[in-house]
Amino acid sequence: MKLIADRLDRISPSLTIAMTSKARALKAAGKDIVGLSSGEPDFDTPRNVKDAAIAAIERGETKYTDVAGTPALRQAVCARFKADHGLDFTPEEILIATGGKQVIFDALLATINPGDEAIIPAPCWVSYPDIVELAEGKPVIVACDQNSGFKLRPEQLEAAITPKTKWFLLNNPCNPTGAAYSAEELKALTDVLMRHPDVWVFTDDIYEKLAYDGFRPATVLEVEPRLRDRTVTMNGCSKAYAMTGWRIGYAAAPVHLIKQMDKLQSQSTSNTSSVSQAAAVEALTGPQDSIDTMRVAYKRRRDMMVEELNAAPGLYCHKPEGAFYVFPSMQGCIGKTTKGGKAIGSDEDFCTALLEEEGVACVHGTAFMYPGHFRISYATSDAVLKEACTRIRRFCEGMR
């Protein structure tokens, strides 16, 4: 009898994690590697947040909590939604999970029946299609044009909806493109959803604090409150507070769905770490100025990356509104041969050769359901990014 379940044949390991591990292994083997593949802030977790965790340990808050999270954290999440978006939630409408990733997992596993469809605008974060597949659903990938800033147009959403559509998964700002929707742009999409009362919306707002030049990403419920009984709003501490390792994500959703997600979570991980939850209360309710510091740095890095990449032959880089990624096109390099003699026929060839010949680790666009591009995370120091740009330019200039 075969050991591994068939359901695992439907998914692959996260390609961003795989690339990051590969780069880490090459570095450990003594290779000079510049890693731009990881979606992780280079900043340290703010001091006040660390102190809150230490204080929680000292108080003995080291035991199981409610599956859905401590009352204090659920209250803090409600206060954050109110302050940021004017949204009123009660703690019963909130679930705390082991990262935003588990929120997605809980929501989709709790709702998708075999054959149910989930609309996913592409480029998309690597995990969405796989989690849908794991739940035996069908990812419906809708390609968004670079000329539309990689944003889904309302007519594309309308055309993708069928009687089998259960979910529309939106990521705003987006990983891997950094594209973010304003209130006006989002309203055009929610108008479509208002015509389809059976479709649920999952909005992954995990990068919402990271937007530049005064751009303010909107969230679904602030532009269309009538979607409240079929919207899951997801957020978390990983990106905004440089807390990836603490594993704090949260959802606001109708109580009947939260209860089912709670049931699922009670039979998998139970609560996320009690200490992390105490830290998250401080992150969400304490001083928010560390976000401003990070935002200033990310904006400077984004501007530098866009300028440098656009100066490399064969590349074109759209300037995104938010997150900490750029998603340049490498289509101008297809058909060429690198200095090291490698023929470039795809985005994967490009990223493999870039890693082998120049030691720069990026993730190819196909991993995000969008070939012909690659993703660079600029959540790393200016000096490292400068070095990366020098190498990428040399790599492109060396092609014939």
Report in angstroms how near the CB of residue 104 gets to ligand PLP at its nearest: 7
Q: What is the rounded CA–CA span in Å between residue 129 and residue 169?
A: 10
Is residue 172 within the footprint of ligand PLP (CB under 6 A)? no
Is residue 121 within the footprint of ligand PLP (CB under 6 A)? no
Residue from the set 236, 320, 322, 365 that interacts with ligand PLP by CB under 6 A: 236
Is residue 39 within the footprint of ligand PLP (CB under 6 A)? yes
Binding part of the chain for ligand PLP, among 71-79, 99-107, 142-150, 282-290 by CB under 6 A, reads 99-107
> Which stretches within the chain are classed as H helix?
15-28, 47-58, 71-85, 100-111, 127-134, 154-160, 183-194, 220-223, 255-266, 274-285, 289-310, 347-358, 382-397
Report in angstroms how near the CB of residue 292 gets to ligand PLP at its nearest: 21
Is residue 106 within the footprint of ligand PLP (CB under 6 A)? no
Q: Which residue is nearest to ligand PLP (CB)?
A: 99
CB atoms within 10 A of CB 85: 17
Is residue 178 within the footprint of ligand PLP (CB under 6 A)? no
Report in angstroms how near the CB of residue 232 gets to ligand PLP at its nearest: 13
Is residue 125 within the footprint of ligand PLP (CB under 6 A)? yes
Q: Which is nearer to ligand PLP, 121 or 372 (CB)?
A: 121
Q: What is the rounded CA–CA span in Å between residue 117 and residue 149?
A: 25
Residue from the set 37, 171, 231, 273 that interacts with ligand PLP by CB under 6 A: 171
User: C-alpha angle 32/38/42, rounded to 5°?
Assistant: 85
Q: Is the separation of the CB atoms in 330 and 385 below 8 Å? A: no
First to last CA, the chain: 52
Q: How far is CA 123 from the centre of its chain?
A: 11
| Helix orientation angle between 100-111 and 255-266, rounded to the nearest 10 degrees | 100
Q: Which is nearer to ligand PLP, 70 or 127 (CB)?
A: 127
Binding part of the chain for ligand PLP, among 60-68, 93-101, 136-144, 185-193 by CB under 6 A, reads 93-101
Q: Can you tell me which residue has the tokens 């007519």?
A: 155
Residue from the set 146, 177, 244, 377 that interacts with ligand PLP by CB under 6 A: 244
Q: Which is nearer to ligand PLP, 56 or 174 (CB)?
A: 174
Is residue 100 within the footprint of ligand PLP (CB under 6 A)? yes
Write the DSSP assignment of 172-212 as a string of letters: SS-TTT-----HHHHHHHHHHHHT-TT-EEEEE-TTTT-B-
Is residue 99 within the footprint of ligand PLP (CB under 6 A)? yes
Is residue 204 within the footprint of ligand PLP (CB under 6 A)? yes
Q: Which is nearer to ligand PLP, 227 or 363 (CB)?
A: 363
Amino acid 274 reads S
Binding part of the chain for ligand PLP, among 66-74, 98-106, 138-146, 355-363 by CB under 6 A, reads 98-106
Q: Which is nearer to ligand PLP, 169 or 396 (CB)?
A: 169
| Helix orientation angle between 274-285 and 47-58, rounded to the nearest 10 degrees | 140
Q: Is the separation of the CB atoms in 125 and 204 below 8 Å? A: yes
Is residue 117 within the footprint of ligand PLP (CB under 6 A)? no
Q: Computed from CA positions of residues 328, 333, 337, 339, in that sequence, does the dihedral angle turn out positive or negative?
A: negative
Report in angstroms how near the CB of residue 60 gets to ligand PLP at its nearest: 26
Residue from the set 35, 178, 249, 328 that interacts with ligand PLP by CB under 6 A: 249
Q: Which is nearer to ligand PLP, 125 or 168 (CB)?
A: 125
Task: Identify any residues that bridge with 167 across adjacent strands, giving them in sequence order.
Answer: 118, 200
Q: What is the rounded CA–CA span in Å between residue 23 and residue 35?
A: 6
Is residue 15 within the footprint of ligand PLP (CB under 6 A)? no
Report in angstroms how near the CB of residue 172 gets to ligand PLP at its nearest: 9
What does the binding site for ligand PLP look like in residue numbers (CB under 6 A)? 39, 99-101, 125, 171, 175, 204, 206, 236, 238, 244, 249
